Structure 1
Amino acid sequence: MPKLPMPIVVLISVAIAVDLICLVCLFVLRRRGVYIKIRTMFGPALVFDSQDDDGVPIRLLNVGGKFQSVSYVQDSLKYKLVCVYHRYFAQVVDIAGLKDGREGRALVIGGGGYSFPKWLVSSCPRLSTTVVEIDPAITDIARRFFFLDDLEREHHTREDGRLNLVCDDGWGYLTGSGERFDLIVNDAFGGKRPLGPLKTEDGARQVRDHLAEGGVYLANVISPLQGKGTDVLTESLDACKAAFEHVYLIPEAPESPRLTGDNVLVASNARLKIQARYAVK
């Protein structure tokens, strides 16, 4: 057998060493509860296993260096909501009478780990939910690690059609849709950027015009309440105040107004039974 030239031997040795290092890193990360997953449209995706402040096991999705979703992992809790702003979303859905009351249709723009859509399907039996997620890799991760497959199987969503998954740009889907929804949820923020032209009056009117009578719009506005970096929050509130009769802002951490938080913007032409201190119009 002919001998390989020395540079090739060195390259092969280096490649083998790199492969071994990668395998060791993967093993160490896995032991620490970290799953390295596939690339996504918005950067590498990592799935972390951890615990909340009470020691309850949770799973987190990080995409491109930013955390996008959190889920409980215990079977009895896997459809419950971990994030504070998602819990505020759920309270508004209940206030709007969509949890245990009338039939309705929901549109969720942004899947992530599908935390809020899972809650909608499991907790709102008379609600039909469409989720628009632009990246199929994210939906695949939700199926494999965040119990989306379990949800579809246990709640028979493929048979009854209560959950419709769409791979598309969220803003394009909304503006091109001839449908109206009782609930529109914007959970597709990338960093601090709002969905499409939300911060413009035209964008807010587009959302309003795709809501049924008395429909509710919910958005996660990632911003501090005061100081530097509040432009997105101010512009989003102004846009909704120009388009809707009633606008509310439920801050994640009102006691720390200069810290960036997941603040819940609520807009509707119907007056909702939300505490007056949260009303901005």
Structure 2
Amino acid sequence: MGPLFVWSTVIGLVLVAIVAALPWLLKKRGVTMCQTKFGTTLIFESENADGTPVRLINVNGAFQSVCYLPDDLHFELACLYHREMADVIGRMARDAQKRGRRLRVLVMGGGGYSLPKYLAAYVPNAHVEVVEVDPAMTKIAREQFFLDECLEVTGAEGDGRLTLVNDDAWGYLQRQDEPYDVIVNDAFSGKRPLGPMKTDEGARVVRAHLADGGAYLANVRSACEGRRSATLREVREAFGREFASCRVVPEWEDEPEKPGNNVFIAR
């Protein structure tokens, strides 16, 4: 048995020990590691720009969701793009209420359930269906992102205002017969969007499942200009062929070549 073999064996054992100890080491630093459908998931706490404590989900190196930790902020929206979406939905819900009807909303992708929690707490005239493909993510949202607390406080699941579905969101949408007033596409695997949100087929499917006057809201992770803007450009071209109006609310208005979570709105 030569020295090279011995050293290779020792190094291999050390690496195995490090990997085995990694969850324990992360937990000592306040980080929880688990496996979800789309890979290694880290849950940890930090602060946002103004010092407010937050909890985050990171999947395979990409941030998926964030929520505030102070008791009075559990159902508030920490992300700018979610606030833009909530503003559109809130205005449409108020208009629907004036006409004596409830706004029907589909949210594709639950993650930490930030937007659904907000709608359950603050937009009572919206009936929201949330479709999340990974039961592990829903469990995380229930236990660590205050989803169960929201359901208890608002009663939104019991009175039918919030419906939770574990399924493939794109397939679920295509099986529905009744149109939605709002379809939200917030489904991501790491940094990659799920569903054909960039294609002509995707635009046609979404348009076919929207009521007249309805809106499609998508989180498009892309730059708005430059070499990293291809995703947003493809979305605008595909949906522009099916919808009367399309616009983008950029995350980084003053830095258009910087990738961000941009809100794409088609009406």
TM-score in terms of structure 1 length: 0.83
Other structure's SS at 2:216 match: strand
Distance between the aligned counterparts of 2:104 and 2:192, measured in 1? 26
Corresponding residue to 2:83 among 84, 87, 93: 87
Other structure's SS at 1:228 match: coil
Q: How does 1:18-97 map to 2 (within 5 A)?
A: 21-22=21-22, 25-30=25-30, 34-36=31-33, 38-97=34-93
Residue 99 of structure 1 contacts residue 125 of structure 1 at CA under 8 Å; is this kept in 2? Answer: no
Q: Give the unaligned 5+ runs of structure 2.
A: 1-9
Indicate the residue corresponding to 2:112 in structure 1: 113
Judging changes above 3 Å, is the alpha-carbon distance between structure 1 residues 169 and 19 closer, same or farther for their aligned structure 2 residues?
closer
Indicate the residue corresponding to 1:264 in structure 2: 263
Other structure's SS at 1:76 match: helix
Distance between the aligned counterparts of 2:144 and 2:156, measured in 1? 19
Residues 100-132 of structure 1 deviation map (CA, whole Å, 9 limit, x = unaligned): 835111100000100011111111101111000
Q: CA deviation at 1:176?
A: 1.5
Q: CA deviation at 1:192?
A: 4.8
Q: CA deviation at 1:23?
A: 7.0
Residue 63 of structure 2 contacts residue 190 of structure 2 at CA under 8 Å; is this kept in 1? Answer: no
Q: CA deviation at 1:28?
A: 2.4
Distance between the aligned counterparts of 1:74 and 1:200, measured in 2? 41
Judging changes above 3 Å, is the alpha-carbon distance between structure 1 residues 75 and 241 closer, same or farther for their aligned structure 2 residues?
same
Q: CA deviation at 1:238?
A: 0.7
Q: CA deviation at 1:191?
A: 4.5
Indicate the residue corresponding to 2:220 in structure 1: 221
Residues 180-202 of structure 1 deviation map (CA, whole Å, 9 limit, x = unaligned): 11111000133454332222222
Judging changes above 3 Å, is the alpha-carbon distance between structure 1 residues 98 and 219 closer, same or farther for their aligned structure 2 residues?
farther
Distance between the aligned counterparts of 1:40 and 1:117, measured in 2? 21
Other structure's SS at 2:236 match: helix
Residue 99 of structure 1 contacts residue 123 of structure 1 at CA under 8 Å; is this kept in 2? Answer: no
Residue 193 of structure 1 contacts residue 232 of structure 1 at CA under 8 Å; is this kept in 2? Answer: no
Judging changes above 3 Å, is the alpha-carbon distance between structure 1 residues 25 and 186 closer, same or farther for their aligned structure 2 residues?
same
Distance between the aligned counterparts of 1:15 and 1:259, measured in 2? 37
Residue 43 of structure 1 contacts residue 63 of structure 1 at CA under 8 Å; is this kept in 2? Answer: yes
Q: How does 1:104-253 map to 2 (within 5 A)?
A: 104-253=103-252
Q: Percent identity, aligned pairs only?
A: 47
Residue 57 of structure 1 contacts residue 72 of structure 1 at CA under 8 Å; is this kept in 2? Answer: yes
Distance between the aligned counterparts of 1:236 and 1:243, measured in 2? 11
Distance between the aligned counterparts of 2:258 and 2:180, measured in 1? 33
Distance between the aligned counterparts of 1:220 and 1:19, measured in 2? 34
Distance between the aligned counterparts of 2:195 and 2:143, measured in 1? 29
Q: CA deviation at 1:96?
A: 2.5
Judging changes above 3 Å, is the alpha-carbon distance between structure 1 residues 172 and 53 closer, same or farther for their aligned structure 2 residues?
same
Structure 1: which amino acid aligns with 2:54? I
Residue 199 of structure 1 contacts residue 236 of structure 1 at CA under 8 Å; is this kept in 2? Answer: yes
TM-score in terms of structure 2 length: 0.87
Q: Give the unaligned 5+ runs of structure 1.
A: 1-9, 269-281
Residue 132 of structure 1 contacts residue 169 of structure 1 at CA under 8 Å; is this kept in 2? Answer: yes
Judging changes above 3 Å, is the alpha-carbon distance between structure 1 residues 192 and 235 closer, same or farther for their aligned structure 2 residues?
farther
Judging changes above 3 Å, is the alpha-carbon distance between structure 1 residues 228 and 126 closer, same or farther for their aligned structure 2 residues?
same
